[in-house]
């Protein structure tokens, strides 16, 4: 029989208030609160907290306060990562972010969702999630929302305020609610 955490990580319906999951969220919140309280005063110490919190951090990681996440250990960022002020990463499932990625202020990455069945949704007792994967050289504009299960290819630009509900391939500029391709990105590595 699977634990609630195993169900959560498998993308199955799981009990949000499972003792182990509550404990893990509380641990992450303590680290996040320490990180946010530090602000811009000590960049090295801030980065150490992020490295302790995230599942993987490559070379060159900068995250500005106020940052929020659920677990932290499901966030994997590669080299040269930047997240501006007030980003939220609800990492119930893994969030994979490639190299040279930029998140504007108030970007929100949501892997979690709730079941369609209203009896399971009552009181927020059950959740369900899907991974988010973001390729290399992606820039997500301020206030954009990335929904569960989305995969963004390499060299994608997401317009500010966009709501991304489906996946997109490489070398596109997307915008809107719901986001759609507005044009090909003319700046591509050869």
| Residues recognised as catalytic | 114
Rounded-to-integer distance, Cα 90 and Cα 44, Å: 24
Rounded-to-integer distance, Cα 146 and Cα 134, Å: 10
């Amino acid at each position: 029989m699977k634990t609630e955490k195993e169900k959560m990580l498998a993308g199955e319906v799981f009990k949000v208030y499972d003792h182990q999951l509550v404990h893990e969220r509380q641990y992450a919140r303590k680290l996040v609160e320490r990180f946010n309280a530090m602000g811009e005063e000590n960049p090295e110490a801030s980065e150490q907290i992020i490295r302790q919190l995230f599942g993987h951090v490559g070379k060159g990681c900068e995250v500005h306060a106020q940052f929020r996440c659920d677990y932290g250990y499901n966030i994997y960022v590669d080299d040269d990562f930047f997240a501006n002020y007030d980003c939220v990463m609800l990492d119930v499932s893994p969030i994979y972010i490639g190299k040279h990625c930029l998140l504007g202020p108030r970007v929100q990455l949501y892997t979690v969702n709730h079941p369609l069945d209203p009896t399971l949704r009552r009181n927020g007792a059950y959740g369900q999630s899907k991974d988010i994967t973001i390729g290399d050289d992606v820039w997500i504009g301020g206030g954009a929302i990335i929904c569960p299960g989305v995969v963004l290819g390499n060299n994608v630009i997401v317009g500010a305020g966009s709501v991304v509900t489906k996946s997109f391939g490489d070398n596109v500029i997307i915008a809107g609610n719901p986001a759609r391709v507005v044009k090909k990105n003319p700046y591509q590595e050869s």
